[in-house]
Amino acid sequence: MADFHQNGIITTLHNFRNKSKKEIEKELKFFSKKRPIQLILPSLYSEIKRPALTRIISELNKTNYISEIIIGLDQANEKEFLEAKHFFSSLSIKHKILWNDAPNLIKLDRELEAIGLSPKNFGKGRNVWYCMGYSIANDNAEAIAIHDCDIKTYTNEIVAKLIYPIANPKLNFEFCKGFYPRVSGDKINGRVSRLLVTPLLKSLKKIIGPSDYLDFIDAFRYPLAGECSFRKRILRELRIPSDWGLEIGVLSEMYRNYRNSTLCQVDIADKYDHKHQEYSFDDREKGLSKMSIDISKTLIRKLATQGNTFSIETFRSLKATYFRTALDFVEIYKKDCDMNSIEFDIDKEERAVELFAENIMKAGETFLDKPLQTPLLPTWNRIESASPGFLKKLKKAADSHNI
């Protein structure tokens, strides 16, 4: 059971076990009459081969309050799309597949490329961005949730708790972030969050001084969670990264555009496990190595937009400060694991810290080399201004595959 702790910055909604899942679902069914609920599932074709997504489909079929599901399908040729279409046909909820590799959608993407507004990087951020555009074009939802398709421990309680703060009009929230314990069996997970993000935020505060923005990001129990929900109006004005900085980028947009009182985080699961990325010690373009660089760049660029200045000396100090802070956290995690009889590999943890320290420096050097680079995707308001009618064309193209 969670405690009642509040950090004073972001409202934390706990799970005190006083309200059953059945009660929550009954309320959601009522709320959905005035605030139709939509779920966005960004998925790779390869995920239909894994048991996690089969479990997710089975659990979603037990719900009765979701009006529509948008599935963003990446890395699928025509044969694989037809296979995915057959796979998702087991969904009893109305659903549409946004086949991002479809020839007509690639053609639309090239239209944006011709005016300099196309996503430059392929990945989850691009997938989510196009799903958001498709959601706007469909215009049939008021409360929207997003979660990943690789959750091995998925139950439909996750989506119920995730969407509840947005669907319930009495709560008056615009955005909600999910959190959960990152312990599975006898192993502690959440490596990038606890070994990179938390010590990096603490270190940045030491280097640049007090920062409302850093306090804001640090207030979230699990800032890298892929699960969030929001009101429809957020979609048109949201600027998100197309790389692994997606989750931090979304939080940064919430900080920039919305009052803290309209934002919350919610406990959505007692246990959570998903597909784990490799560290990729030898290749900065893969796995957790690339993720750590992208996340670090996102934080650095956001701080730069707030008037903070950086130099190579700043990043050297940041690297050293982070390294010492992260090693202190490793000791803390070790004691916590000892207390709970959880396996803990100090050597692997410290190797990860060494890798992340090098990648913070790499992210800083990249920023200094290209300080004017704009990694954020344009808002859908800008797309409609630059290319009037684009959303209608996106809807028509995507719908042609859902007949």
Q: By percentage, how much of the chain surpasses pLDDT 90?
A: 86
Confidence at residue 186, expressed as pLDDT on a 0 to 100 scale: 82
* Nearest partner of 244 among 138, 375, 348, judged by Cα: 375
Q: Are strands 11-13 and 183-184 parallel, antiparallel or unpaired?
A: unpaired
Lowest mean pLDDT among 271-285, 313-327, 347-361, 380-394: 271-285
Token pair 């670090």 in the structure block, residue:
296
Instruction: Read off the pLDDT of residues 163-209 as tens digits, 9 standing for 90 and up.
Output: 999 999 999 999 999 999 988 778 899 999 999 999 999 999 999 99
* Nearest partner of 90 among 132, 56, 113, judged by Cα: 56
Q: Are strands 183-184 and 187-188 parallel, antiparallel or unpaired?
A: antiparallel
In the structure, what pLDDT confidence band is assigned to residue 126 with cuts at 50, 70 and 90?
very high
Q: In the 8-state DSSP scheme, what is residue 75?
A: S
Phi and psi at 190, nearest 5°, equal 65, 40
Report all structural domains of the chain as residue ranges with CATH numbers, in order of start.
11-399 (3.90.550.10)
Collect all residues with Cβ–Cβ distance below 8 Å to 116 and sequence separation of at least 6: none
- pLDDT tops 90 at residue 360: yes
Q: Please tell me the distance from the alpha carbon of residue 280 to that of residue 366, in angstroms, as a whole number.
A: 19
- pLDDT tops 70 at residue 372: no
In the structure, what pLDDT confidence band is assigned to residue 282 with cuts at 50, 70 and 90?
confident
- pLDDT tops 70 at residue 374: no
Confidence at residue 2, expressed as pLDDT on a 0 to 100 scale: 57
Q: By percentage, how much of the chain surpasses pLDDT 70?
A: 99
Confidence at residue 165, expressed as pLDDT on a 0 to 100 scale: 98
Q: Cα 356 to chain center, whole Å?
A: 20
- pLDDT tops 80 at residue 79: yes
Task: Give the chain's mean pLDDT.
Answer: 94
Confidence at residue 281, expressed as pLDDT on a 0 to 100 scale: 79
| pTM, entire model | 0.95
- pLDDT tops 70 at residue 85: yes
Q: Please tell me the distance from the alpha carbon of residue 160 to that of residue 162, in angstroms, as a whole number.
A: 5
- pLDDT tops 60 at residue 12: yes
- The secondary element (H helix, E strand) that includes residue 359 is helix 346-369
